[in-house]
Structure 1
């Protein structure tokens, strides 16, 4: 199998973390590409008509894409246990919340990076940050029992999302007033699969 990746993407990082959690990384070749919303790498278009990463090219089968599809595929293939049946819906909801945090942070980054000078829409950026802020508050207020329990794709995605906010929105101080979540993230970030995939 081949996993199409790009180093800074938090969605790619989710797939890579799930792969490393499985212990089967030797069975998947990682292909790193350079891509953008305006210049999609051809390797991605071959695997995903939407041009988004990550994508997983499977031997003799259709390619699959979207990070949540790929993480579930790895989990199913190798019985990793990242989606336990006893709290599956909670784990999926936490993962979806974290994907939304990452998506909003990506949109904030794109607004500044790809808009022509003088056309950056600050109200749009504020609206995306409001989503991030509400979702991070929800992680601490509503989902501590998932984060602090056995490691799942929900807890891994939460750490990835929070670290992506650090990377792209580091001046916004998400830790302020969220000591418990900040302490949890600091401990979780030491997990080998997360440390190994952390973008520089």
Structure 2
């Protein structure tokens, strides 16, 4: 398998962590989806990373689709329950975490995208999406409570998605005070940060 990804994409990081946790081999192909001619556009008409290229040339895109497929490739450490309420809970956690990332990315692009001048940027748009980020993080903290993991007794995709989302906030929005507000989330993220899959996929600081 070949994974087209960016080292700074939290969606791609989620996929890379799942691949690492499942101990599956793949080739990482770096791409910048914001470049003039991104490689990924040849495989994903939306021009977004990550994109997983399978043997035979088929392409899977959208991180949620990719991680669900990858989780079926090996019985080792299933990250998504097969059925029922537990499955729905894990996927709902993932949707919440991805929604936080969606809002954070929207706010960041409005603030830094070079296609707009400073006069063209909309602070109200940025504030609206930061409000969504903060509401999402508050919901994460409330639902996690004092549990060791988001769902059940073991690591699942829910924890991976939450870890990627909160780490992205640390990376791109260090001024947000989620770490001082939610010690239970800090414990979870710091625990995840000790796993090799998280260490190996840490985005570059520069």
Normalised TM-score (structure 1): 0.92
Matched residue count = 196
**Within-5 A mapping of 1:153-192:** 153-192=157-196
Deviations along 1:105-127, one digit per CA (max 9) or x if unpaired, are 11111111113221111111111
Counterpart check, 1:119 vs 2:131: no
- Mapped to 2, the partners of 1:97 and 1:9 lie a distance apart of 17
- Mapped to 2, the partners of 1:70 and 1:61 lie a distance apart of 15
- Mapped to 1, the partners of 2:46 and 2:71 lie a distance apart of 24
Higher-helix-fraction structure: 1
Q: Is the 8 A contact 1:47 1:56 kept in 2?
A: no
- Shift in Å at residue 61 of structure 1? 4.7
Larger mean Cα displacement after TM superposition, 59-68 or 15-24? 59-68
Aligned Cα root-mean-square deviation (Å): 1.6
**Within-5 A mapping of 1:144-155:** 144=145, 145=147, 146-147=149-150, 149-155=153-159
- Shift in Å at residue 29 of structure 1? 1.0
- Mapped to 2, the partners of 1:101 and 1:29 lie a distance apart of 28
- Mapped to 2, the partners of 1:143 and 1:132 lie a distance apart of 16
Larger mean Cα displacement after TM superposition, 61-70 or 140-149? 140-149
Which residue number in structure 1 is paired with residue 30 of structure 2? Answer: 32
Which residue number in structure 2 is paired with residue 23 of structure 1? Answer: 23
Deviations along 1:26-66, one digit per CA (max 9) or x if unpaired, are xx111001221x7350x211110000110011111521100
Could you list the runs of 5+ residues in structure 2 that have no partner in the other structure? none
Q: Is the 8 A contact 2:41 2:47 kept in 1?
A: yes
The ranges of structure 1 where at least 4 consecutive aligned residues each deviate by more than 4 angstroms after the TM superposition are none
- Shift in Å at residue 131 of structure 1? 0.7
**Within-5 A mapping of 1:52-91:** 52-80=48-76, 81-85=78-82, 87-91=86-90
- Mapped to 2, the partners of 1:129 and 1:9 lie a distance apart of 18
